[in-house]
Chains A and B, each alone.
Chain A
Amino acid sequence: MTAIEVRGLRKAYRGHDVVRGIDLDVARGEVFALLGPNGAGKTTTTEILEGHRRRDGGEVRVLGADPGTAGPGWRARIGIVLQDADDAADLTVGELVGHVAGFYPRPRPSAEVIGLVGLTAKKDSRIRTLSGGQRRRLDVALGIVGRPELLFLDEPTTGFDPEARRQFWDLIRALAVEGTTILLTTHYLEEAEALADRLAVLAGGEIVARGTPAGLGGRASAGAKVSWRADGVLRTEQVPDPAPLIRELVAAEADLSTLTITRPTLEDTYLTLIGAHR
């Protein structure tokens, strides 16, 4: 079953095309990442899917409804983690989570949600006293308190330290295990690689590649670069499959102490993809 279905999505700001005909399918229970540089149209696309922005053209179905016209019943089934909210500074963490929980038909208990994002010690603190990373974790808590079927995460870990990011990834994986569909935008490639079942790369308002993290942009079939030293000279060969070459080298009793086999990283693939569309 499909959670998100997008055909030919278009959006322009003041005559400037920001999203130019995107097609997208996200299945139920899937973690899908939208990658792309700043200004690629990630946030605009996400906000249209969330119902925050109107589209100029194309077909959009999110949980079977058009986000442009869907009502409160639909909103109770989605969760949105805001990217830059600064609200409710004078409430405590517990007060705001409890307040927002009251909007939903069957919310998670607020103490549980606060625990999930690791803010139990901050439950009675005013929100204005939270650090940037804690504030973002609160945003995550508010996004999941209503037990959403579909969760939108727009660059959720910007400003997190490495430890906080790992904890956040564990939380997202736990939500995915429960069956929550997740649409994630990020420009951290290791984040997409760690979390996403599938991903798409946006550049200049278009999807320039899509696939699994392992197979993106023909990465799986890109072959490997094999380097070794023979008689003090560095030799490098690009081969589709390194196995026969290695067997040959072993048979020839070549010096393998300097042998390296490299495949393109997701970052190499990504930079090639967006570089071609600059």
Chain B
Amino acid sequence: MSTLALGVSRGHVELLQFLRDRTAVVFTFAFPGMLLLLFGTIFQDTYDQPGVSASHVFSASMIAYGILTTAFVTMGAGLALDREDGTLKRLHGTPISATSYVLGKWFLVLALSVAQAAVLIAVGALVFGMSLPDASHWLTFAWIFLLSVTACSLLGMAVSGVVRHARTAGAILNVPVVALQFISGVFIYPVIQLPSWLITVASIFPVKWMAQGFRAVFLPDGMRVNEPAGQWELGRVALVLGAWCVIGLVLCLVTFRWTRPDR
């Protein structure tokens, strides 16, 4: 079989295994939905734009949060676990390539991220009455989504190289997740409330650009004044996310190991 066909085969068993772990399924899909329900209900801020409420902003921004937790944490912790339980060692003793293995993980993460984004968009639309965008905005959504999932997956994989034990992986991986979600305009919006140096720091990392991109898709155009630049800056979103994909890929190639290092 080709590298791609084997990647699909890996993705299939990855997904099967994920879906059979009920706890993980419920947690992955219900948790962001619950957070959105809570935040959307608690914060009732309104903006200059008619018909836009805080719940709509959260619905859009939290897609970035969902991708971050799913792609970055699932990928990083999953890789650490695969290294620990013998999955990687088993595969390394067979003709399958590392690329097929990574593709399989990417398919898993993509499927989970799509399902999670669907939950968030459904809650936003059905519970909070967020209006759905037109076709050209969906196209924007698609490329931001793919770049975000790829960048976060690759970075999660790279970080898993420094995780020594699978049981500490979740805790380690959540440090950047929690820090970035607070400074990247996911939960604290508009971002301009933050000290300018913190905005500068956030602008280095992908999450700010992911959240901004998804807001550009789901919020009315006038809402762009609340962004740090006063613009959606979609070109810059593409540039930063693309750059993180490249950085992530390079880090993976440097740090990827089939087995744990020598005792």
Contact = CB atoms under 8 A, between A and B. Distances in A.
B193 interface: no
A103 B89 contact: no
B15 to A, nearest CB: 11
B23 to A, nearest CB: 12
Main secondary structure of the interface of A (DSSP, over half): loop
A88 B78 CA distance: 12
Interface in B93-129: 93-97
Interface residues of B, number: 25
Contact of A91 (B13, B262, B263): B13
Contacts of A80: 90, 93
Interface in B225-263: 258-259, 262-263
B203 interface: no
Q: How big is the A interface, by class?
A: 20 to 34
A75 B95 contact: yes
A84 B9 CA distance: 24
A276 interface: no
Interface of B: 1, 6, 9, 12-13, 16-17, 20-21, 82, 85-87, 89-90, 92-97, 258-259, 262-263
Interface stretch (A94-102, A116-124, A230-238, A259-267): A94-102
Interface string A60-104: 000000000000110110111010111111110001100110111
Given A52-B259, A103-B96, A85 B90 contact: yes
Contacts of B12: 99
A19 interface: no
A90 B96 contact: no
Interface in A138-183: 142, 146
B1 A102 contact: yes
Contacts of B95: 72-73, 75-76, 103-105, 146
A50 interface: yes
A28 to B, nearest CB: 20
